[in-house]
Amino acid sequence: MPPSDAPARQSAVLDVKDLKVFFPTDDGLVRAVDGVTFSVNAGQTLAIVGESGSGKSVTALSVMRLVERAGARIAGGSIVLTRPDGSSSELTSLSEPEMARLRGREIAMVFQDPMSSLNPVFPVGDQIGEPLRIHRGHSRLEARLAAVELLALVGMSDPLRQVDAFAHQLSGGMRQRVMLAAALACDPMLLIADEPTTALDVTVQAQIIDLLRELQQARHMAMIFISHDLHLVRDVADRVAVMYASQVVEEGPVDAVLGRPAHPYTQALLSCIPRRGELRGRTQRMQPIPGSMPSAISAPAGCRFHARCAHARPVCLAAMPVLQTVAPAWSTRCVRWQELTP
């Protein structure tokens, strides 16, 4: 099968190609994202999954261009945002003022922990209305009225009262709804949700996920959904990118990748999760795969998964495997996938 570096990318809202994001540290260069390629279409959800430290959040923060604030440098690759009118922007080369005009308007993000993203000293209504004041020139009153409507949209009871609430007065689920309302204020083309429900209990988690899915479909938004929970991913996503040691090791349609995974790491991930219902009442997080991920400072030569892979052979160490096409729009970074796929 000929190597391919990317799946089909028609009408992609976001096209990320060979992205490299490095953190210079006293211990050496942390290659947090090292050649990541994926795309997301309008109306489509791409899930990004992988162990802790595999580079999911740094990938998301790079798309928002918030990663430089954390001390990183985008060392290579491209991130292209394409609008419905066909115009596009190469996000890696935008200045901060240009990025500020786009952030919150065309791309918005919901973080795992709303408490750290919401400002404790301003009512939540002000924070929901802020993007409208910045990007749409709304007056204070217009922004407040829009915030009430947005709170109703995300299912907050009594939005006229809650618009004046402070973050500490709300439950975790309500805070996450507020974050979602703020993210949706300017009707973004792309919504990035980084583990948006991990801090919530299972019932509230299900409500927020249903809401996300409904709003994404109604608005035909592209969504990147980062999660540890493969059951959720199966429910929410159209496509999935599996990250390991700063790279995407498999990407494709969710039913194919999670139903008949071609990469041994994806297979290992799937064999580690409890079946639905086995952890009744508890948030389902992945059980660890034996061994540990290599350091992002000194990645091994060849396949980065080889030390933990039961199928490793000398050929796996010869060179870093490139993404190979398993089927149209489905790729895997394993030299032995054809022998190993049932």
Positions touching ligand ATP (CB under 6 A) are: 23, 25, 30, 32, 50, 52-58, 70-71, 296
Q: How far apart are CA 230 and CA 45, in angstroms?
A: 14
Binder of residue 334, out of Mg ion, ligand ATP, ligand SF4, none (CB less than 5 to 8 A by kind): ligand SF4
What is Dmax (Cα atoms) for the chain?
67
Among 136, 311, 320, 325, indicate the residue that binds ligand SF4 (CB under 6 A). 311
- Among 126-134, 161-169, 283-291, 333-341, the segment contacting ligand SF4 (CB under 6 A): 333-341
Copy the structure tokens of residue 229.
């929970």
Q: Per rule CB under 6 A, is residue 326 in the interface with ligand SF4? A: no
Which contiguous run of DSSP H or E holds residue 202? helix 202-219
Shortest separation between residue 263's beta carbon and ligand SF4, angstroms? 6
CB 75 within 8 A of CB 21: yes
Cross-strand bridge partners of residue 23: 30
CB 194 within 8 A of CB 111: yes
Q: Per rule CB under 6 A, is residue 242 in the interface with ligand SF4? A: no
Q: What length is written for the chain?
A: 342
Binder of residue 23, out of Mg ion, ligand ATP, ligand SF4, none (CB less than 5 to 8 A by kind): ligand ATP
Q: How far apart are CA 154 and CA 156, in angstroms?
A: 6
Among 215, 306, 324, 330, indicate the residue that binds ligand SF4 (CB under 6 A). 306
Among 57, 59, 216, 247, indicate the residue that binds Mg ion (CB under 5 A). 57
Q: Per rule CB under 5 A, is residue 62 in the interface with Mg ion? A: no
Shortest separation between residue 257's beta carbon and ligand SF4, angstroms? 14
Which contiguous run of DSSP H or E holds residue 181? helix 172-184
Shortest separation between residue 194's beta carbon and ligand ATP, angstroms? 7
SS3 (DSSP) at 221: coil
